């Protein structure tokens, strides 16, 4: 009964005592007798050989200390315990090594972060340099093509003027020759104005009894509507016309947009192209139909740099030829390719991520002969828009 009480008392002491020397590993300077309580009157429950390490849980029992040896708890004389410098040195060395390891780890993490940031900055600079070079190349090619086209148009105009001048000269020569022939025959018609060689429709040159002036015959002229067999289609703003057979590309992680406001004079079809390293690498990402007097948001645009192809007009119609669908505006159709580049790349800042978005207003301008986009340098053909 005494042993059980002693063990319970030992547990209470083990979990409730704490002093300055508690929680140390010490070494026995001589053979230790481990007793069940703090005194010689308690039973010996184990023996610890000299030079063995023990864990001191508490030294607050006078000459006795509560220890843990292997899986056993008990009491030994405190004077028979001495510090084991090897343990303290090992623990200190382990702590210093852990501190150095943590410092090296943090330094390595900082170096990796700086290297990654430098890599991203270099990649961004290279990408922008490539994009700028590609833009300059395209602008130079466009300027060269325009210069060639202007030169060819001037040449054609010059050739046409030369041909007209030659034709006028030849007609004058023939008229003078004819007048000279009449004068040689003694006809008084030579002094009359030269007659036109253009026939009068419905007149009879052999009728001497008809004293009234000749009247032209009526001519029926009708204009053919080449879209008469095409099917008229209407789309809601934001839809993709079925004739393009195209599904757009989206990045739902990005809350960006291109806001387009269309005026009253037109409807539009917008094509968004993501620029590649070369023109052949450009990728069509969206095709969007927008009605007049409407504001439409094109959202969730994947990152990249974009340019637009725009079709203006009214009365959208579609047809199928050889199994392929076609669609176009059949009234006031005009086309252009924007020179402005829309950069939808996100930018990381100290305050977070900056997600770019853009606003665009489109309409046709009225002039004396119809409508225009007001941007002649950006005009393209229907084939250039549809290809």
If phi > 0 it is left, if psi is from -120 to 50 it is alpha, else beta; for residue 354 that is beta
2-83 belongs to which homologous superfamily?
SH3 Domains (2.30.30.40)
Q: Are strands 294-299 and 257-262 parallel, antiparallel or unpaired?
A: antiparallel
**What does the pLDDT read at residue 215?**
54
List helix spans (H) across the chain: 2-16, 85-184, 382-386
Phi, psi dihedral angles at 42 (to 5 degrees): -85, 155
Highest mean pLDDT among 82-91, 94-103, 366-375: 94-103
Mean pLDDT across the stretch 187-208?
A: 42
Highest mean pLDDT among 24-28, 132-136, 197-201: 132-136
Residue 172, pLDDT > 70, answer yes
**What's the mean pLDDT when you consider all of the chain?**
82
- Through-space distance between the first and last CA atoms of the chain, rounded to whole angstroms: 102
Query: For residue range 237-273, what is the model confidence (pLDDT) as tens digits?
Result: 999 999 899 999 999 999 999 999 999 999 999 999 9
Give the start-to-end residue ranges of the domains of the chain.
2-83, 87-184, 231-386
Residue 256 in contact with residue 301, Cβ under 8 Å?
yes
Question: What percent of the chain has pLDDT above 90?
Answer: 45
**What does the pLDDT read at residue 192?**
43
Residue 313 in contact with residue 333, Cβ under 8 Å?
yes
Q: How confident is the model at residue 377 (pLDDT cuts 50, 70, 90)?
A: confident
**What does the pLDDT read at residue 9?**
44
**Cα–Cα–Cα angle for 143, 336, 346, rounded to 5 degrees:** 90
Q: How confident is the model at residue 373 (pLDDT cuts 50, 70, 90)?
A: confident
319: its two tokens: 């047809």
**What does the pLDDT read at residue 78?**
87
The predicted model scores a pTM of 0.44
């Amino acid at each position: 009964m005494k042993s059980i009480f002693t063990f319970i008392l030992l547990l209470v002491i083990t979990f409730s005592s704490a002093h300055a020397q508690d929680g140390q590993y010490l070494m026995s300077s001589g053979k230790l007798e481990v007793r069940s309580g703090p005194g010689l009157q308690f039973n010996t429950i184990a023996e610890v050989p000299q030079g063995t390490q023990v864990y001191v849980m508490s030294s607050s029992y006078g000459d006795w200390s509560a220890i843990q040896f292997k899986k056993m708890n008990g009491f030994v004389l405190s004077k028979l315990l001495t510090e084991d410098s090897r343990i303290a040195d090992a623990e200190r060395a382990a702590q210093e090594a852990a501190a150095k390891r943590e410092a090296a780890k943090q330094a390595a993490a900082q170096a990796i972060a700086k290297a990654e940031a430098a890599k991203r900055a270099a990649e961004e600079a290279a990408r922008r340099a490539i994009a700028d070079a590609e833009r300059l190349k395209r602008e130079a090619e466009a300027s060269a093509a325009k210069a060639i086209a202007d030169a060819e148009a001037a040449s054609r105009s010059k050739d046409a003027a030369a041909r007209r001048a030659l034709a006028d000269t030849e007609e004058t020569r023939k008229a003078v020759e004819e007048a000279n022939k009449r004068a040689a025959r003694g006809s008084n018609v030579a002094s009359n104005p030269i007659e036109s060689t253009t026939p009068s429709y419905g007149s009879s040159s052999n009728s001497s009894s008809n004293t009234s002036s000749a009247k032209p015959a009526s001519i029926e002229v009708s204009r053919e509507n080449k879209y008469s067999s095409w099917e008229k289609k209407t789309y809601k703003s934001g839809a993709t016309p079925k004739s393009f057979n195209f599904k757009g590309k989206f990045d739902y992680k990005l809350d960006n947009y291109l806001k387009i406001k269309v005026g009253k004079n037109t409807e539009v079809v917008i094509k968004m192209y993501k620029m590649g390293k070369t023109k052949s690498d450009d990728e069509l990402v969206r095709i969007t139909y927008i009605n007049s007097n409407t504001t439409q948001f094109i959202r969730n645009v994947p990152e990249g740099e974009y340019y637009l192809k725009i079709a203006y007009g009214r009365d959208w119609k579609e047809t199928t030829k050889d199994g392929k669908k076609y669609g176009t505006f059949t009234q006031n159709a005009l086309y252009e390719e924007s020179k402005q580049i829309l950069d939808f790349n996100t930018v990381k800042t100290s305050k977070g991520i900056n997600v770019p978005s853009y606003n665009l207003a489109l309409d046709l301008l009225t002039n004396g002969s119809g409508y225009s986009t007001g941007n002649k340098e950006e005009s393209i053909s229907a084939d250039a828009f549809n290809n």
